[in-house]
């Protein structure tokens, strides 16, 4: 009888591996003739790119989702971005809760790694919040969109229902997939379509720990966690700045907001600001944006949404912590502080690590695409940040990229969804505690 200890897969490695397995399964399903509108097997690269984009809730596509894929293929894509956004480990944990009424330690560790729960005791609560919020929001969004499409745009009920469900799930999971070749441009002036989609994007992308905190202490903001306060404050600032910037840079652009009425301009500018933070829908032609708007999108896409939600990017709290660190250094303060709380040193180190690793991925991806494509630098940077931030917006060059370029985006989407720290940890040989520390010295900085 063996007495050797049982090896347990590191939670971060498990998360990275499970996403790879889901991508492989999705690729095989999309390769089936049943998934293609013309009943022919899709090319391997097309199936792989679409599966990765769906699982990583990105929305970048190399073929038109509504015309290239059959209803079965569209259903596969919907299932992939639902699982990718909802969280595979969270789904498994919910099943465990239903069957066993409790979660074992290993299940809690896996779910904690994926949802970024602050403690093992929060895992069960967050899993339940994920399920209730996801099902509730997607149901309401689907019903609202279906009704609007039928009564406001004359779409027959079967098509309106399917379109409502598809776009509702895509919006809540910040996936950006649309059944229309122009995304949501045809509804640019319709607040009853863009409004619910924006609401779904914000709720899904704000992060489930924040939603759980609001659920427990909605009327007691003084006792909200620092994470919740930083996320909400950062989200409001980014949405307002983004909308104002798009409105300023595009108001006179005849190819985007120029021809619209004032109310429609404001609606589309707000939608662009919300969607740029990882949703991937667009109500104006992204390829026609001014260079200033493209640069603004760089910032919004790179930061992304809230932690442990369906959004991508380096996350709002990362940017907020780094800003607080800079403010503290400029003011000569030893601690980074906000809302009467001090930000712990490990969180600061993690924020710096996420920023550096994310920046390295964007730079490397940009260099590769510039090497293999003839496209302008600003378009390439836009595509790279969109892939890494799992946004899905494109200036129209995705389908024209060579295989090496598309595989580069595949890698960026996977890293962006799994997370730079999670991937780095999963690739590391192991953690070691050093029995000594070297003497401290202060290098010259700046």
CA distance 343 to 7: 35
Phi, psi of 342 (to 5 degrees): -105, 130
Residue-averaged pLDDT of the chain: 87
Average pLDDT for 196-204:
94
Question: 260 φ, ψ to 5°?
Answer: -80, 155
**The tokens of 119 are what?**
């403690």
Instruction: Using the predicted structure, report yes or no on whether residue 247 has a pLDDT greater than 70.
Output: yes
Has residue 165 got a pLDDT over 60? yes
Least confident of 79-88, 150-159, 283-292: 79-88
The pLDDT score that the predictor gives to residue 96 is 43
Q: Supply φ then ψ for residue 56, to 5 degrees.
A: -90, 10
What tokens does 223 get? 């006792």
Helix (H, G, I), strand (E, B) or coil at 129: helix
Task: Please list the alpha-helical segments (H only) found in 283-402.
Answer: 291-303, 316-330, 345-372, 377-388
- Residue 427 confidence (pLDDT) above 60: no
pLDDT at res. 207: 81
Q: Are 20 and 54 in contact (CB under 8 A)?
A: no
The mean pLDDT value for 268-290 works out to 94
Q: Which of 183, 206, 236 is nearest to 310 (CA)?
A: 206
Q: Is the pTM of this model over 0.85?
A: yes
H/E stretch holding 408 reads helix 403-418
Query: How far, in Å, CA of 88 to CA of 23, rounded?
Result: 12
Question: Domain segments of the chain: what residues?
Answer: 11-425
pLDDT digits over 362-386, tens only? 999 999 999 999 999 999 999 999 9
Is pLDDT at 13 greater than 60 in this prediction?
yes
pLDDT at 237 over 80: yes
Say whether pLDDT at 345 is over 80. yes
Residue whose pair of structure tokens reads 């994470």 in the numeric block: 227
**Helix, strand, coil content of the chain in percent (nearest 5):** 65, 0, 30
CA 442 → CA 176, 351, 439, distances in Å? Answer: 47, 21, 10
Residue 7 or residue 165, greater confidence: 165
Q: Is the pLDDT of residue 388 over 60?
A: yes
The residue that leads in pLDDT, 285 or 100, is 285
pLDDT at 118: 45
Mean pLDDT of 151-173: 96
pLDDT in tens, 41-93: 999 999 999 999 999 999 999 999 999 999 999 999 999 999 888 765 455 44
């Amino acid at each position: 009888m063996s007495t050797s200890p049982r090896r347990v897969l590191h939670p971060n490695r498990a998360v990275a591996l499970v996403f790879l397995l889901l991508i492989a399964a999705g690729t095989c399903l999309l390769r089936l003739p049943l998934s293609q509108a013309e009943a022919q097997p899709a090319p391997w690269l097309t199936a792989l790119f679409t599966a990765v984009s769906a699982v990583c809730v990105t929305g970048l596509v190399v073929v038109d989702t509504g015309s290239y894929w059959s209803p079965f293929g569209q259903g596969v894509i919907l299932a992939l971005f639902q699982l990718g956004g909802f969280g595979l480990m969270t789904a498994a944990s919910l099943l465990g809760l239903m069957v066993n009424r409790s979660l074992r330690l290993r299940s809690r560790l896996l779910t904690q790694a994926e949802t970024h729960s602050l403690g093992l005791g929060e895992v069960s609560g967050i899993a339940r919040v994920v399920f209730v919020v996801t099902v509730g929001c997607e149901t309401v969004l689907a019903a609202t969109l279906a009704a609007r499409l039928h009564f406001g745009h004359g779409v027959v009920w079967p098509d309106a229902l399917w379109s409502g469900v598809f776009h509702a799930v895509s919006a809540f999971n910040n996936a950006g997939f649309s059944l229309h070749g122009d995304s949501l441009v045809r509804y640019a002036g319709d607040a009853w379509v863009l409004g619910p989609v924006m609401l779904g994007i914000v709720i899904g992308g704000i992060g489930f720990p924040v939603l759980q905190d609001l659920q427990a202490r909605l009327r007691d903001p003084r006792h909200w966690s620092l994470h919740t306060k930083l996320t909400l404050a950062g989200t409001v600032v980014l949405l307002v700045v983004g909308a104002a910037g798009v409105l300023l840079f595009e108001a006179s652009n005849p190819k985007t907001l120029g021809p619209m009425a004032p109310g429609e301009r404001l609606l589309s500018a707000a939608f662009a600001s919300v969607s740029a933070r990882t949703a991937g829908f667009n109500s104006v032609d992204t390829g026609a944006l001014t260079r200033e708007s493209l640069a603004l999108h760089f910032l919004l896409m790179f930061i992304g949404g809230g932690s442990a939600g369906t959004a991508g990017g380096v996350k709002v709290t990362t940017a907020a912590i780094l800003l607080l660190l800079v403010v503290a250094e400029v003011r000569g303060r030893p601690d980074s502080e906000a809302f009467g709380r001090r930000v712990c040193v490990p969180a600061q180190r993690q924020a710096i690590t996420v920023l550096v690793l994310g920046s390295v991925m964007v730079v490397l991806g940009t260099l590769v695409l510039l090497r293999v494509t003839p496209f302008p630098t600003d378009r390439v940077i836009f595509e790279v940040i969109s892939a890494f931030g799992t946004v899905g917006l494109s200036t129209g060059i995705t389908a024209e990229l060579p295989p090496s370029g598309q595989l580069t985006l595949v890698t960026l989407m996977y890293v962006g969804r799994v997370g730079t720290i999670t991937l780095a940890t999963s690739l590391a040989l192991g953690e070691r505690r050093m029995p000594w520390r070297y003497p401290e010295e202060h290098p010259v900085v700046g």
